Structure 1
Amino acid sequence: MSRRKKTSPAEDVVDLIALLPWYVGVILALAGYLLLHRIAIAPLPSALGPGALGNVMVGTMGRGLATAGQYIVPILCLAGAAISAWRRHARRSLMDNVTRSDAPDILDDMSWREFEILVGEGFRLQGYQVAENFEAGPDDGIDLTLRKNGEKYLVQCKQWRAFKVGVPVVRELYGVMTAKGAVGGFVVTSGRFTPEAEAFASGRNLRLLDGPQLHRLLKQARGSASARPDDGNRAGQATNAAPQAAKTAAPSCPRCAQPMVRRTARKGVNAGQEFWGCSSYPRCRGTA
């Protein structure tokens, strides 16, 4: 896929910040302002001798740059943070729309950029770290770079509505994997693959995902991610239930060490009340 060309270093900075979580951009904005503001308000050294004039000029220039930078740097960082937050919201909204729909052509009605975002979010939900390719110029066909357990995987996305992905695309990705040291690769399409492409990928560390397979994979990933909080709640409930079970566990008889059972007093001042009695009663009359 073609990439948007950048026009200035400031845009490069914004794009770099946008790759980070949005809160990191906010932290960088605050830290940048505090640091540059401190430099901007620092007093200039006095020119006491001939050699000190150069220091004064350098200090004046640094103070001027810090005065402007204390506003420019936070603005760039906040812009990147806003883009990061928007992308996160867009990814989740796109994922929700796709996984809740049963329409067979749901993947055909989106742009190639939305398709890449959707695929990336699906891999994120499976525990991969996803880096999207924002570089201008040739990209070797790589749209996403995945990392998991210290290993690298490459992903090529093909948003083709009317064509089948042939073996040249799969063979190209396999060559790039070898050149870049990736342990595996994925070719993902909204359409289908030719039998030749499937035959080439068979037996290699390549996985081909067509439209129906991708749709099922996204639903499974979304369901697994939604179930994790519930699993945590169930684990917490089990943890809380353990002490209660321990409290109600039958104690051992203090006389013969046999397990005790709950009994109900039938007469006397404690009639109607429960107590622990030895299971060997009447041979043993131990109580607790």
Structure 2
Amino acid sequence: MSRKEPSLLVIFSYLPWWASVTAGVLVYVSLAYVFPALIIENPIISMMIMAGQNVAWVFALMFTLPAVSSIFKHKKRQQLLQHQQGIDTLREISWSDFEVLVGEAFRRKGFSVQENMNGGADGGVDLRISKDGKLHLVQCKHWRSSKVGVSIVREMFGVLTASKAQSVYLVTSGEFTNEAIKFANNLPITLINGQALLALINEIKTTVNPIQVSHNTIKEHTHNSEKICPKCQSQLVKRTAKKGKYMGKEFLGCVSFPRCRYTEQL
């Protein structure tokens, strides 16, 4: 059975609020003013136009309502991002919120994010993200205890080869097995565990002017897990100074910033 396509109103609820409002205004103007001004000789079509003019406000309201849902979705994404304080808060959210959180993290990094509007994974793909004209696939695994094994990575590699995407991101709130890490090595597959995701979120939260980073910048977070802050035992991640005499230079900073301000020069 083919997957049911989302309705037009559902699609509008995932777009910015102004897209729905604009559509509502256009529908109203068309039904109330544009179509009635046309000279139509067919009496049936003329009756339909007249009926449409009488209920123009109903259709306009129908197209405007998704703007409310869009605003709530935007607010929820912001709250989810700000709520993350550590691995515990990351793992206490639901699997659906985890997907929303991951999508927002990529969105803040300059990716265009297409969420799955039907609910549930679409052929193993939870998100489709794009940047610089290149498509990437994302699968989210909100696993609290079990590690993500090599079978999942193999499955996503198969999905990748059958698609037109450039790479795959596998994101989990937990960890990956050694076999999974070895299989993904030297393949267009980026594994992001819970700690690496937290590092990415903390970088977003502490950056006043988010920069547009490349695909490899996110991948770097998966290689810094051995760097530990000597003051608070949190993870150290690579950052770029935004101001001061070291502006533009890279350094290692604590993911607990601003609570911990330890830095280390590279």
Q: Deviations over 1:126-175 (max 9, x none)?
A: 11000001136761110100000000000000111121111111111111
Cα distance in 2 between the residues matched to 1:44 and 1:182: 49
Coordinate RMSD, CA, aligned: 2.5
TM-score (normalised: structure 2):
0.72
Q: Which position in structure 2 is the counterpart of 1:86?
A: 72
**8 Å CA contact retained: 1:124, 1:130:** yes
Residues 152 and 20 (structure 1), Cα distance of their counterparts in 2 relative to 1, 3 Å cut: same
Q: Which position in structure 2 is the counterpart of 1:26?
A: 21
Q: Which position in structure 2 is the counterpart of 1:59?
A: 46
Cα distance in 2 between the residues matched to 1:165 and 1:43: 62
- Compute the displacement of 1:84 (Å): 0.9
Residues 138 and 90 (structure 1), Cα distance of their counterparts in 2 relative to 1, 3 Å cut: closer
Q: Which position in structure 2 is the counterpart of 1:221?
A: 204
Cα distance in 1 between the residues matched to 2:54 and 2:141: 47
Q: Which position in structure 2 is the counterpart of 1:194?
A: 177
Q: Which position in structure 2 is the counterpart of 1:37?
A: 32
TM-score (normalised: structure 1):
0.67
* Match runs of 1:77-226 below 5 Å: 77-98=63-84, 101=85, 103-135=86-118, 139-224=122-207, 226=208
* Structure 1 counterpart SS, 2:7: helix
Which one has the bigger helix percentage?
Answer: 1
- Compute the displacement of 1:108 (Å): 1.1
Aligned pairs, number: 211
Identity among equivalent positions (%) equals 33
Say whether 1:15 aligns with 2:1. no
Cα distance in 1 between the residues matched to 2:91 and 2:72: 23
Instruction: Give 2:125's aligned amino acid.
Output: I
Cα distance in 2 between the residues matched to 1:122 and 1:138: 19
* Structure 2 counterpart SS, 1:162: coil
Cα distance in 2 between the residues matched to 1:227 and 1:20: 23
Could you tell me which runs of 5 or more consecutive residues in structure 2 were left unpaired when the two chains were aligned. 212-241, 244-266
Residues 171 and 220 (structure 1), Cα distance of their counterparts in 2 relative to 1, 3 Å cut: same
Q: For the pair shown, which has the larger CA radius of gyration, 1 or 2?
A: 1
Residues 138 and 91 (structure 1), Cα distance of their counterparts in 2 relative to 1, 3 Å cut: closer
Q: Which position in structure 2 is the counterpart of 1:275?
A: none
**8 Å CA contact retained: 1:186, 1:206:** yes
Instruction: Give 1:59's aligned amino acid.
Output: S
Following superposition, which runs of at least 4 residues in structure 1 exceed 4 angstroms of deviation? 39-45
* Structure 1 counterpart SS, 2:57: helix
